[in-house]
Structure 1
Amino acid sequence: MMFKKRTNADEAKKLFLEAVKPLSGHELLPIADCDGRSIARDVTAGIDVPHYRRAAMDGFAVRASDTMGAGSSSPVIFKQGQHIEKGVCVKVHTGSPVPQGADAVVILEDTVSYDGNIEIYTQIHPLKNVGDIGEDVRKGDVILRKGQRIRPCDIAVLASLGINNIKVAGKPLVAIIPTGEELVPRGKRELKVGEVYETNGLMASLYSRKWGGIPRLLDIVTDDPEKIKQAITSNLDADMFIISGGTSVGRRDYVPGVVGSMGNLLVHGVGISPGKPTALGIINGKPVVCMPGYPVAGIVALYWFARPALRKLGNLPDEPDRVVRAMLSEKIPSRTGYKTFARVKLDNGKAIPLATSGAGILSSVSKADGFVIIPENIEGLSAGEKVEVILIE
């Protein structure tokens, strides 16, 4: 099985992502629906938070100067009242307004009440236990920056400002085209010899949604270049294509040729293992990831190419991988010239390799906690080596 050229994994990613252009559209959404989305423009505070001086603790509002000399053995005695004046304090609760004339709050634990009098056993300074106007957010402050990924805590801040709707970057529409004569729709009938249920399209759809896209999973397309071309042509409203299967150099592997005939085939053959038959291209300005039909190779292609492309399309900042350190329980072989993605299971600080060969063994990914990525210039890793495991979830 030969390719005209095998492109280095990092070079292939760089070439592909340089051709991906972020979407310019946006949509107005209720803030409750914006978790994980990207801000389309800066959000500015229209009010101060808090917009009034508030008590930060339960206790008594006072003039701080009136507590001068108070101590654990020499309390200052106040009268409890409704208005602040010299020697008079007002009871407050956390979050309630600080009465006019007060500039501090003495916490309940530092007081003793009796017969309408309040003994205060600590000297405090102005603004002690008081949330000043704008302490949290100042009117005019930029709260969220364009391109920032929105988290639940950010949504809470927006809610505190009385903001109900914001503009977010549009989600990329991803057309997913499973190809192959051997594929059968799940649940339609029992399999014959040589047939398999279609899984790659489903997997690509779920990952596309997880990574910020809107998947459109199409029906299975047979290994026919005209039908593959028609499936692409009928979905040119999509922002990205993921095509599964038909990417190698066999008699029925038509996908790279179709992509090249309709646009620009950037890469066919990548130095990743598994995943060498991956092809990448651009059609009508839309990125196309052609993932191998073997499931594990397909997952690697999705992770290495589709995920960053989707995030760039959706104006989402690329997030660092979740990584844990572990010790290899046994040797992992690899080929120089290929970035190898080895599946491992974690157990008490050890990384246990799972089916390190066999790109069609899908269950090995389900059993795995993550991948160990072995660089191109290294020929395998030895048992006992410390490695970084990139978590699948």
Structure 2
Amino acid sequence: MQSYDAALERILASAGPLETELVPLEHARGRAIAEEILALCDLPPFDNSMVDGYAVRAASVGGASEELGLSLPIMMEIPAGSWPTRPLQAGEAARIFTGAPIPEGCDAVVMVEDTEESEDEPGRVTLRHPGSGSYIRRRGSDIAAGSVAIPAGLTLGAGELGLLAALNITDVPCVRLPRVGILSTGDELIPVGQATLQPGQIRDSNGPALVAAIEEAGGVVVGRTHAKDTPEAVAEALAQLAGCDVLISSGGVSVGDHDHVKAVLEAQGTLDFWRIAIKPGKPLAFGTLGGALFFGLPGNPVSSLVTFELFVRPLLRKLAGHTRVLRPQVTVTLATPLPHAPGRREFVRASVDSDLHATPTGLQGSHRTSSMVGADVLVIAHEDHGDYPAGATLPALVLR
């Protein structure tokens, strides 16, 4: 039986990022950039003012103060989007606006709040402050041409997309998203939407849940099917999902007479390992099948989703090129006692408050889908530890 750490290490070592594709800027949010982006120009592209005010030469206005105002002629007005008509001379001022280019000769800006204009002296301004060069945003002070603007592997969000737009990059080199196929197994399953359950039947809740989890992780579901509990049906259904990067089945991986997924995987592909010392989700098959990485997840709904979070999601993130593939981890304080039997690492669904006090989301049975509702974290109870008292601090994976 694999430990959690060993299983995760083996899974992540099994594959690297997929190939690169160009993605339009407007569709690149959430994607991993495939290669570092170098700035082809300076940002900002010219010296500009960070405030509304008056551009001046510092040597000409050093004596300006609240008590001793200094009057200068206004020689030009420079709004954003224009260009200065001439250099600024000593003893002159130019009305300037935020984002407007700094005229040649100017080395300071006086904020408009520190100035006065009088109807008695049209075309002149009285300065009540000497201004500052710190109000000038220098060319290249954000990004210098030739420097790394965005490193490879970074997940693109609004800030990164804004920078790419400023650099005039319209098509972004991103790692291709992994194509995923889903197989639900079980004679008892019927599709969601069928009105009446016959005796012994349940609805296929794992399928829709896995679709949502895959899409949230950055995968693309390209196929989804169902198989009865026979080796032939499982093999035929998996064949229908050929061409995927990752295949995920739910159910049929334990040791029952009607569990055939593991056997089909061993017969038609390779089985890397089968069981992991965790709770929920001990029976988990991992291997390869027809060129795809294969995960045989447990059929119990909580086990299916938790093992997806722990093992499938990190691999999908790695395939998609992300450098950060694991969920963030925080330390939480138990609001209530947590029963825990040593031997397996347990991942307890819990909600947290603003002070990171964790409260389990009810009973933790692997069949209790309701325990995933409102779960903010998976609290990690170590395999070498017994029960935890209220107030104990434990690591937790952040789900949302």
Alignment TM class, shorter chain as reference: over 0.9
What is the deviation of 1:189?
3.6
Instruction: Report what 1:154 is aligned to.
Output: 160
Question: Quick one: distance in 2 between partners of 1:386 and 1:157?
Answer: 40
Residue 53 of structure 2 is aligned with which of 48, 54, 59?
59
Secondary structure of 1:80's match? Answer: strand
Q: Does the Cα contact within 8 Å between 1:325 and 1:389 map onto a contact in 2?
A: yes
Residue identity opposite 2:116 in structure 1: V
Moved more, 59-68 or 77-86: 77-86
Instruction: Report what 1:391 is aligned to.
Output: 398
Question: Quick one: distance in 2 between partners of 1:11 and 1:326?
Answer: 25
Question: Quick one: distance in 2 between partners of 1:88 and 1:31?
Answer: 44
Q: Does the Cα contact within 8 Å between 1:342 and 1:356 map onto a contact in 2?
A: no
Please give the residue correspondences for 1:117-132 in structure 2 after superposition, counting only pairs within 5 Å. 117-125=124-132, 127-132=133-138
Instruction: Report what 1:382 is aligned to.
Output: 389
Q: Does the Cα contact within 8 Å between 2:182 and 2:221 map onto a contact in 1?
A: yes
Moved more, 307-316 or 320-329: 320-329
Residue 20 of structure 1 is aligned with which of 10, 15, 18?
15
Residue 72 of structure 2 is aligned with which of 69, 78, 81?
78
What is the deviation of 1:284?
3.7
Instruction: Report what 2:42 is aligned to.
Output: 48
What is the deviation of 1:107?
0.8
Q: Does the Cα contact within 8 Å between 2:183 and 2:250 map onto a contact in 1?
A: yes
**2:302 is the alignment partner of 1:296:** yes
Moved more, 204-213 or 94-103: 94-103
CA RMSD of aligned residues (A): 1.9
Residue identity opposite 2:102 in structure 1: V
Cα offsets for 1:275-312 (capped at 9, x unmatched): 01111112244221111110011111101110111111
**2:3 is the alignment partner of 1:8:** yes
Please give the residue correspondences for 1:237-386 in structure 2 after superposition, counting only pairs within 5 Å. 237-319=243-325, 321-323=327-329, 325-346=331-352, 349=355, 350-386=357-393
Question: Quick one: distance in 1 between partners of 2:41 and 2:354?
Answer: 51
Residue identity opposite 2:169 in structure 1: I
Please give the residue correspondences for 1:129-278 in structure 2 after superposition, counting only pairs within 5 Å. 129-278=135-284
Cα offsets for 1:154-191 (capped at 9, x unmatched): 11011111221111110000111111110000112410
What is the deviation of 1:55?
1.4
Structure 1 residues 14, 285: closer, same or farther in 2, change over 3 A?
farther
Question: Quick one: distance in 2 between partners of 1:289 and 1:75?
Answer: 76
**2:92 is the alignment partner of 1:88:** yes
Residue identity opposite 2:17 in structure 1: P
Q: Does the Cα contact within 8 Å between 2:275 and 2:284 map onto a contact in 1?
A: yes
Moved more, 71-80 or 318-327: 318-327
What is the deviation of 1:347?
5.2
Moved more, 382-391 or 211-220: 382-391
Question: Quick one: distance in 2 between partners of 1:295 and 1:219?
Answer: 17
Secondary structure of 1:218's match? Answer: strand
Structure 1 residues 79, 72: closer, same or farther in 2, change over 3 A?
same
Structure 1 unaligned regions, length at least 5: 1-5
Normalising by the residue count of structure 1, what TM-score does the alignment of the two structures yield? 0.93
Instruction: Report what 2:79 is aligned to.
Output: none
Structure 2 unaligned regions, length at least 5: 77-85
> What fraction of aligned residue pairs are identical, expressed as a percent?
30
Normalising by the residue count of structure 2, what TM-score does the alignment of the two structures yield? 0.91
Structure 1 residues 343, 50: closer, same or farther in 2, change over 3 A?
closer
Residue identity opposite 1:117 in structure 2: R
Instruction: Report what 1:3 is aligned to.
Output: none
What is the deviation of 1:249?
0.2
Residue identity opposite 2:367 in structure 1: G
Structure 1 residues 367, 89: closer, same or farther in 2, change over 3 A?
closer
